[in-house]
A and B are shown apart, each in its own frame.
Chain A
Amino acid sequence: MKASALTPLHILSRVGAALLGGYCFVWGVTTLGIVLATALGMSFSEARTLFYLLAFLLFTAVFCWAFAAASHGRAWLVLAGGGAAMTLLGWLLAH
């Protein structure tokens, strides 16, 4: 990514991908993770505690990745898109 392409809009998009996309991604991992863990026999509160413990480590990692990703479009796709997909899958499996 060329540094010359650093317009305010680009920066805003990266920040959005990192914060909102990252949040969506963590939400998705937490939802799907809890559903899968409970399916494997873990109690609900155990599973929730486990994913709460991992959530912010994961958020830190994907936040940094959003700024290292080759394009902000890719960051949005992976984080927001992936997060939405995981949340949907988790919701479907739970109901």
Chain B
Amino acid sequence: MLQTFRQSMAWLHTWFGLVLGFVLMAVFFFGSLSVFDREIDRWALPETRFEPQPMPSYDNLLADIFAGMEAEEEELEAARKRIGGELPAQLQPTGWGAYTTHRDPVLDVFAEYSVPNPKDPFDHAHGHLTLDPRIGAILPHDSLKIGSEFFYPLHYSLHIEWKQLGTWIVGVAALIMLVALVSGVIIHRRLFRELFTFRPGKRTQRSSLDLHNLTGVVALPFHFIFALSGLTIFAFLYLPVGETVLTTPVQAHLMEEAVSRGLPFEPAGEAAAIASVDAMMVEAKKRWAERGMPGEVGFLWVTHPGDRNSFVSIFRAGSDRVAFVGQGVHFDAVSGRVLYEEPPPTVIAGINEFLTGLHLQHFEHWPLRWLYLLGGLLGCTCIATGFIFFTEKRKRNLNDATLVRWVDALAVTAVTGMLVATGAILVANRLLPAELPHRSGWEQTVFWMAWLLTLAHALWRGRAVSGCLSPAWREQCWAIALLAVTAVALNWITTGDHLLKTVLTDRYWPVAGFDLALLASAAIALRTAFMLRTRERAAARIEHKELLAMEVARG
């Protein structure tokens, strides 16, 4: 596009990096928080603060829970709209299942119900419950798991559910991440020589570029593989060739697969009682141990429950490796015998399992999890320093003044504003009354309103004077520190789980870890605020001297 390949790549990197950088900031930050999503859930839902539990008994506990489950009201509403008619009082379940990992005290339980006269043969309404597997107590529907149900979906869908638009936007952002990494390497002339270069003492434009390059290159494999694996996980959504141009081969394939595996594709239409699923779980564990990979049940799914053709699929939790569930054993639900045991994956399937498992990280390896957090924060730093470099470079050019002012305000919102919003939802979680109707909705409203406020603040306080950073950065750092410390204090006051208790006397690392992380964040935010104030004063003194010099020269 421009005169040389390198110039074109530089243009591409700058402008696409700038525009999608705002989205990527959120994706990387909330993705980083998602590494510890279940720990954040424990902090947000004090009634779930107990030890992780294995998959409970199906026969004695889950069977009754499933029998009593229903599709959610929102799902039924949406289904009524899709078929343009009424729904029967009881929907027929087509599947029900449970999922747990080595970090879950509470169990996630799901159900799928068939919708009569559907336009799409795979149309379902869904039900979902969270329960305490020790006693079968169901958690109130309105309890928002701030980690796994808010921060995590935020990172891949931005909570824009209409026609999956948010997931598409994140997909484009992830593609641009890959493009930015490739173009960044192309335009970085002295990649190896400057691999360890960071000169914090130089002007902001130089030191921010140094840090941008450092954080980008040092974790280049991490950034690249996470963007690529994220896209691959959603490839079925982004490239639905099987559902559009290749429907005939897909149908043939599904039929063939069902026949070769002996797993009935359609229900028989006759009712039949289910055999002991607990016995099936024992058999599955025995088979895994025989294969040299003893393990726990991670995922359980019953297809066509209550029907003669029903089958139960039991998958192993991949806590000791990257692939997150696998080695499925499928049982005939009525007789309890093994229908099909999945063979080791092919090379291609294995690579896909590796990439998916690498991204979704259900493995039990705390050092690697913390290294993931580091990688994510390095990604955030790369993007933030990209914004700072962009604005610093253009501040001296008066033609760019409006652009710089807007980019600066949006950068403040995307970086410190995002952290303020995060602190706000945590404080709201502790302050809002427990019996408040739609409490989870209110928590989310606080988050979005707080973020919007930071944009307004950034626009109001913005300045585009060369050598001066907007005071909004410093002021929002103060807000972050205040919110983080308040959250920790409120956790103590409202739940009694203060740090001395969770670290020493009644150890509970999920809550202790998050409280400590909040305090560390407050410390970093405060230090940054002081550092920015020092710079601001130094810049003001230089400006003052320059003004005096001009006066003297004139007079």
A interface list, Cβ under 8 A from B: 1-3, 6, 10, 14, 19, 26-27, 30-31, 34-35, 38, 43-46, 48-50, 52-53, 55-57, 59-60, 63-64, 67-69, 72, 87, 90-91, 94-95
Asked if B111 is at the interface (CB within 8 A of a chain A CB), the reply is no
Contact in complex: B352, A56 (CB < 8 Å): no
B351 within 8 A of A: yes
A34–B355 alpha-carbon span in the complex (Å): 20
Which of B33-41, B228-236, B424-432, B526-534 lines the interface with chain A? B228-236
Q: Which residues of A contact B346 (CB under 8 A)?
A: 46
A10 cross-chain contacts in B, Cβ below 8 A? 1
Is B3 on the interface with A (CB-CB < 8 A)? yes
Assuming A30-B239, A60-B175, A64-B179, is B2 touching A90 (CB within 8 A)?
no
Knowing that A53-B352, A56-B235 touch, tell me 7 more A-B residue pairs with CB under 8 angstroms. Answer: A1-B1, A26-B239, A49-B348, A56-B228, A60-B175, A68-B9, A90-B246
Given known A-B contacts A49-B349, A52-B235, A64-B183, A44 and B250 have beta carbons under 8 A apart = yes
**Contact across chains for A67 and B348 when beta carbons are under 8 A apart:** no
B46 → A minimal CB distance (Å):
41
Chain A interface helix/strand/loop/mixed: helix
> Are B348 and A46 in contact (CB-based, < 8 A)?
yes
List A contacts of B183 (CB < 8 A).
64
In the complex, chain A residues whose CB is within 8 Å of the CB of B245:
31, 87, 90-91, 94
Count residues of B near A (Cβ-Cβ below 8 Å): 38
B335 on the interface (CB 8 Å rule)? no
The closest CB in chain A to the CB of B172 belongs to A19
B5–A68 touching, CB < 8 Å:
yes
Contact of B8 among A31, A46, A68 (CB under 8 A): A68
A50 touches B179 (CB 8 A): no
- Given that A6-B1, A44-B249, A95-B248 are contacting pairs, would A67 and B12 also be in contact in the complex, using a CB cutoff of 8 Å? yes
- The answer to whether B253 and A49 have CB atoms under 8 Å apart is no
Which residues of chain A are near B8, meaning CB under 8 Å?
67-68
Quick check: is B218 within 8 A (CB to CB) of the other chain?
Answer: no
A48 to B235, CA, bound (A): 10
Decide yes or no whether B182 CB sits under 8 A from chain A: yes
A91 to B246, CA, bound (A): 7
* Cβ distance A11 to chain B, nearest Cβ, rounded Å: 8
**Who on chain B is nearest to A69 by CB?**
B1
Is A55 a contact of B239 with CB atoms below 8 Å? yes
In the complex, what residues of B have CB within 8 A of residue A30's CB?
239, 241
> Can you show 10 pairs from A to B with CB atoms below 8 A apart?
A1-B1, A14-B1, A26-B239, A53-B232, A53-B348, A53-B351, A53-B352, A55-B231, A57-B178, A64-B12
